[in-house]
Amino acid sequence: MMVRISHLVTEKLDEDSSYKLLGEGSFGQVYKAKRKGQPVAVKILKNLDNPRKVQAFEREVQTLRYVVLFN
């Protein structure tokens, strides 16, 4: 499957990462990849021209950081 992912993201993922679609929502699609041998989710955003969607996504990221840090 061909997935367009920023070089800034792919350089942080394992070179042998294959991208498997996990799901799709209002912000974009989520793929499974690998980083340092561990599975990670990579979200590919769509409709970045809407400032409200960008702000909502940034809030989602902050929430996920909090959950990861404190669990």
pTM: 0.68
Instruction: Give Cα separations from 33 to 3, 9, 53, 57, 58 (angstroms).
Output: 11, 11, 24, 20, 21
* The two three-digit tokens of residue 53, written as one number: 């969607």
User: Which structural domains are found in the chain, ordered by start?
Assistant: 7-69 (3.30.200.20)
Q: What is the pLDDT of residues 51-67, one digit of tens each?
A: 888 888 888 888 888 77
Task: Compute the half-sphere exposure of residue 17: CA atoms within 13 Å on the CB side of its CA.
Answer: 25
Q: What is the pLDDT of residues 1-50, one digit of tens each?
A: 556 677 788 888 898 888 889 999 877 889 999 999 999 888 888 877 88
Q: Provide the phi-psi class of 36: left if phi over 0, else alpha when psi is between -120 and 50, else beta.
A: left
